Amino acid sequence: MSFVTFCQIFLMCYMLGRAKGHCHRVVHALEQTSDLGQYPMTAATRGICLIVNNQDFSKSCLRQREGTMIDERCLTDVFRWLGFEVEIRMDCTNAQILSAFQELGRKDHSQMDCVVCCVLSHGDDGVVLGVEGQPVKLRDLMEPLNGLNCPSLVEKPKLFFIQACQGNNEQRAVYIEADGSACDSVCRDAVVANDSIPADADFLLAMSTLPSFVSYREKTNGTWFVQSLCQNLVQMVGYDLISILTKVNADVSRRTDLGHKKKQMPQPAFSLRKKVVFPVPEGSPHSLTETSNVP
């Protein structure tokens, strides 16, 4: 048992109190956690990272997604740094989005460890929108990568990061453009994900916001969710992905717009069976400054 683990046990026993049985339960819980295991991350190419970035909505009644190129650049730099082969699809209709995921599912991933999919777009109630304003279901994007349709990804993590709204409600601070159908200095990327929870093993679906709520994008700095995700993937490299997303939740939940009224809470859902831990690469990505490996 490592010194760090011993300290964790000691502190937890002290906090929980007096009963000897508490200590035994804490030790057992820590041992169970350490036995979860990790998905293999040993391939020369970690996997494919598909980024669908919809910016130009001039063919619909929706507003342009200003600031999304900042997100694309950060995601590209970070996932290349982590060893992924990045593929970008720009300004896709709903049919083109679905086609890109079907094409990804037909590829041979046998020499890779996992796959990452990022969608940056407007959205609504369990869907993301093509540039013509027509929806495609998130579940339809995950289906081509499941074990039945893509055998080379069986028992490998399939990681989805969705920057889009999940409705039109705004979370308010208790004491800014949204990706939906309206916009201002902070914009909304207006999706409810009831029908989007992963049904197959080894999926992760990280949504930028809770069901029924909007997701914010700054025109000059990108989205709150993607920027925090990229920063924490760098700063917490070597940590498991769920811990990283928990830190993203904490960071984004603390943010407000300039008026201190608008809030956002990301939501990860997953059917992972092991920890996802990316090996620590050399150097740091171009678009982010790596400050520390400690959150």
Question: Tell me: the pLDDT tens digits for 203-217?
Answer: 999 987 644 445 555
The pTM is what?
A: 0.77
Per residue in 18-55, pLDDT (tens digit) is: 445 544 543 444 455 556 799 999 999 999 999 999 99
Angle at 225 between CA 219 and CA 229, to 5 degrees: 120
Any domain includes 294: no
> 71-76: long-range contacts at Cβ-Cβ below 8 A with a sequence spacing of 24 or more?
71/120, 71/163, 71/217, 71/222, 71/223, 71/226, 71/227, 72/120, 73/287, 74/222, 74/226, 74/227, 74/230, 74/285, 74/287, 74/288, 75/49, 75/51, 75/118, 75/161, 75/226, 75/230, 76/51
> What's the pLDDT score for residue 124?
80
Active site residues: 122, 165
Q: Is the pLDDT of residue 180 over 60?
A: no
Mean pLDDT over the full length of the chain: 79
Any domain includes 8: yes
pLDDT band at 290 (very low <50, low <70, confident <90, very high): very low
Domain count, the chain: 1
Any domain includes 280: no
Any domain includes 170: yes
Any domain includes 165: yes
Q: What is the domain-level CATH number for residue 227?
A: 3.40.50.1460
Do β-strands 186-188 and 177-179 pair in parallel, antiparallel, or remain unpaired? parallel
Any domain includes 239: yes
> What's the pLDDT score for residue 283?
86
Any domain includes 91: yes
Pair of tokens at residue 4: 């760090």
Q: Is the pLDDT of residue 69 over 90?
A: yes
Any domain includes 157: yes
pLDDT band at 170 (very low <50, low <70, confident <90, very high): very low
> What's the pLDDT score for residue 178?
59
Q: Is the pLDDT of residue 72 over 60?
A: yes
> What residue numbers bound the domain in which 260 lies?
3-28+45-270
> What's the pLDDT score for residue 34?
57
The whole-number average pLDDT for the span 53-58 is 96
> What's the pLDDT score for residue 197?
55
Per residue in 84-125, pLDDT (tens digit) is: 999 999 999 999 999 999 999 999 999 999 999 999 999 887
